[in-house]
Amino acid sequence: MAQEYSDDEIEFSESEESEEDEEEKPVEEARKDAVYNIVGIHEKLEDIGWPDDIDWIQSLSVTVEDDELKAVDVNDDLAREMAFYTQALEGARDAYQKFEALGIPFLRPSDYYAEMVKSDTHMLKVKDKLLTQKKMMEEADERRKQREAKKFSKEVQAEKLKERAKQKKHDIESVKKWRKARSDSGYTEGEDEFPVNVENGGPSAKKRRVLASPGDRSGGKDRRNREKRDAKYGHGGRKGLKKKNTAESAADDSSFRGMKRKGGF
Of 86-145, binders to other proteins (CB under 8 A) are 87-93, 95-97, 99-100, 105-110, 112, 114-118, 122-123, 125-126, 129-130
Distance of alpha carbon 32 from the chain centroid = 56
User: Could you say which residues in the range 176-205 bind other proteins, by CB under 8 A?
Assistant: none
Please pick, from the candidates 10, 18, 34, 240, the single residue that binds other proteins as defined by CB under 8 A: 34
**Shortest reach from residue 95's CB to other proteins, in Å:** 4
Q: Does 60 bind other proteins (CB under 8 A)?
A: yes
**32-38-42 Cα angle (round to 5):** 160
Say how far apart CA 141 and CA 136 lie, in whole Å.
Answer: 8
Q: How far is CA 161 from CA 126, 140, 202, 214, in A?
A: 52, 32, 21, 34
Q: How far is CA 150 from CA 159, 164, 241, 259, 262, in A?
A: 15, 21, 44, 20, 12
Q: Does 245 bind other proteins (CB under 8 A)?
A: no
**Shortest reach from residue 129's CB to other proteins, in Å:** 5
Please pick, from the candidates 18, 20, 21, 75, the single residue that binds other proteins as defined by CB under 8 A: 75
Please pick, from the candidates 26, 195, 258, 263, the single residue that binds other proteins as defined by CB under 8 A: 26
- 139 phi/psi in degrees, rounded to 5: -65, -40
**29-34-38 Cα angle (round to 5):** 130
# chain residues binding other proteins, by CB under 8 A: 87
Q: Does 171 bind other proteins (CB under 8 A)?
A: no
Q: Does 237 bind other proteins (CB under 8 A)?
A: no
